[in-house]
Structure 1
Amino acid sequence: MSLDFAALRELRAAAPDTIAERFATRKRRSVVQGDGRLFIVAADHPARGAIAVGSNPTAMANRYDLLERMAIALSRPGVDGVLGTPDIIDDLAALGLLDDKIVVGSMNRGGLRGASFELDDRYTAYDVDSMVRDGLDFAKTLIRVDLNDAGTAATLEATARAVDAAAAAKLPIMLEPFLSSRVNGKVGNDLTADAVILSTAIASGLGNSSAYTWMKLPVVPEMERVMEATTMPTLLLGGDNGGDPEDTFAEWERALALPGVRGLTVGRTLLYPASGSVEDAVDTAARLVHSGLV
């Protein structure tokens, strides 16, 4: 897809107010419409220092390549929106790619991958006020709970206040919880059903209202048990693309049939597919979410 990056660079340098104007004039849609299901493409990984995909340690480092992949994804039928940090979302707004799309703002990116403070995941990107200012449609947070790391407490408290603010603004907010631990200094997530159920229980109670809270959960074995742990609308996350694509799509299809599951929020697996074709990967996922697509 051909994007005018020279114009984007010039706009950022000489006419930055244009970005706010693009948000103000953006055509918006309802969050839930049609079949009531959502397919969101995620690209908030780089801001947390997570630019690797599979065996490629710098796959997401080239911003122009990432934007081209995002543009392709957003152009495909059945893609409802995008999740990103302000730098990504501002680029997409400046390029005119956000009309009639749900825009999800990523909030806590301070827990940099590999850092000693990774689990003290500060809120360093969007806040609720800025999302209301720009007319964004949804908020997203990451909550990694390590019972042996004191940084978890600060993240939980900050997330509770984010849920408070989102509920007051009537802004839907998706919480992405994990039980996490360090192994040889590296933070990893426990992807057993019991762990996801416990992390969901912890996240569900954050904030002074759950009226606008959604869950963003991994697809794990015994997913039926996981979905019995919450009444909140849930989007499935995709993770990295290290597995066999056919197996991954089959797992998504089974999980999407469960009560309470409303769709997918996937990034690297579709933006950097093993097949090499963003179009094919996105179209396959879109048909899983929206069964009416041909």
Structure 2
Amino acid sequence: MITDAQWAELLHTRATDPGAIGEAYVNRRRRERLLSERGTLFLVAADHPARGALGVGADPLAMADRRSLLERLLIALANPDVDGLLATPDVVEELLLLDGLHGKIVIGSMNRGGLAGADWEIDDRFTAYDVPSIASSGLDGGKMLLRIVYEDPYTIRTLEACARAVSDLAGHGLMAMVEPLPYRRDESGALVLDRDPVALTHAVAVAAGLGVTSAHTWLKLPAPEDPSALDATTLPVVVLGGVPSVDVADDLTSWATALRHPAVRGLVVGRTLLYPPGGDVAGAVEAAAKILRGEGR
């Protein structure tokens, strides 16, 4: 938990000492290896707020309380099986000031401009970390969202920007985590995830070919019911949490199934673990860690 004194100090530092953030980046104790000793990677994700996606379940503002979000992240990061964090600069920097990221992998979220529900949502412009800031801040890589809608011309802009970021991150020897998701518009014009395994397979093939090299590219994918999408690449894959199911057990089962595939190296999960039914963050994180350790699958 964050004490009242820690919270007051964080707010005071934010207002009076912006240079402390740069110092915190420099002083972060980095981990030497990206993968754990088991060869896996388990990250908690908290880049949803920067895209205006604050809802969890029936609560449209679940992630809006920043103190609560940070407390939940610190609980998750305290689990020794959690390797690190995926987040935007504001969240990363708050956790740095709270000394919550020493010895952890930190992946900076890059394109958050496709605001949830916006007319331009598919135009996922890079509005958070860029490659120079990821490299100079000593982060371990950058993550980019690539929603592919064949009927939307904004897709090509995001494709081009992601390709450039993949190339630039590789030039620094840093991970490029690409999240390719096939989307379509329903009868009302709203964007919905296309769960057709063929569509996901196409998205995987497109993402794998981005940039001048794929040497440092990882893919962040939903757990597919059909493994054909995972068979479409040799790139390392992490399974995303996505929108939480009504029953967390269903999520755990789908992750366990995906983790059996040799290309899948780990999990990157946010809301499902940070806002579980009943509020037991530590218990939800440990349940996912057991799945990753191979217990019960």
TM-score class, shorter? over 0.9
Question: Identity over aligned residues, as a percent?
Answer: 48
Deviations 1:156-209 (A, max 9, x none): 011111011101111111100011122213211112211111100111111111
CA distance in 1, matches of 2:138, 2:200: 32
Deviations 1:83-141 (A, max 9, x none): 00001001011111000100010000000011110001100000110011110012100
Q: What is residue 76 of structure 2 aligned with on the other side?
A: 73
CA contact (8 A) 2:112 2:127 kept: yes
CA contact (8 A) 1:143 1:156 kept: yes
CA contact (8 A) 1:241 1:274 kept: no
Q: Which runs of 5+ in 1 are unaligned?
A: none
1:249 pairs with 2:255: no
Work out which of the residue numbers 190, 194, 200 in structure 1 matches 2:198: 194
Q: What is residue 7 of structure 1 aligned with on the other side?
A: 9
CA RMSD of aligned residues (A): 1.3
Q: Partner of 1:228: helix, strand, or coil?
A: helix
Amino acid at match of 2:211: G
Work out which of the residue numbers 178, 181, 199 in structure 2 matches 1:178: 181
Q: Which runs of 5+ in 2 are unaligned?
A: none
Q: What is residue 16 of structure 1 aligned with on the other side?
A: 18
CA contact (8 A) 1:192 1:220 kept: no
1:218 pairs with 2:231: no
CA contact (8 A) 1:192 1:221 kept: no
CA distance in 1, matches of 2:14, 2:250: 42
Work out which of the residue numbers 198, 209, 219 in structure 1 matches 2:213: 209
CA distance in 2, matches of 1:240, 1:56: 13
1:274 pairs with 2:257: no
Amino acid at match of 1:2: I
The structure showing larger relative contact order (alpha-carbon pairs under 8 Å, at least 6 residues apart) is: 1
Q: Partner of 1:276: helix, strand, or coil?
A: coil
Q: What is residue 41 of structure 1 aligned with on the other side?
A: 44
Amino acid at match of 1:219: A
Q: How does 1:48-87 map to 2 (within 5 A)?
A: 48-87=51-90
Count of residues paired in the alignment: 292
Q: How does 1:61-140 map to 2 (within 5 A)?
A: 61-140=64-143
After TM superposition, give the deviation of residue 243 of structure 1 in Å: 2.9
TM-score, with structure 1 as normaliser: 0.97
Amino acid at match of 2:125: R
CA distance in 2, matches of 1:100, 1:37: 16
After TM superposition, give the deviation of residue 290 of structure 1 in Å: 2.7
CA distance in 2, matches of 1:55, 1:142: 25
After TM superposition, give the deviation of residue 221 of structure 1 in Å: 1.1
Amino acid at match of 2:82: V
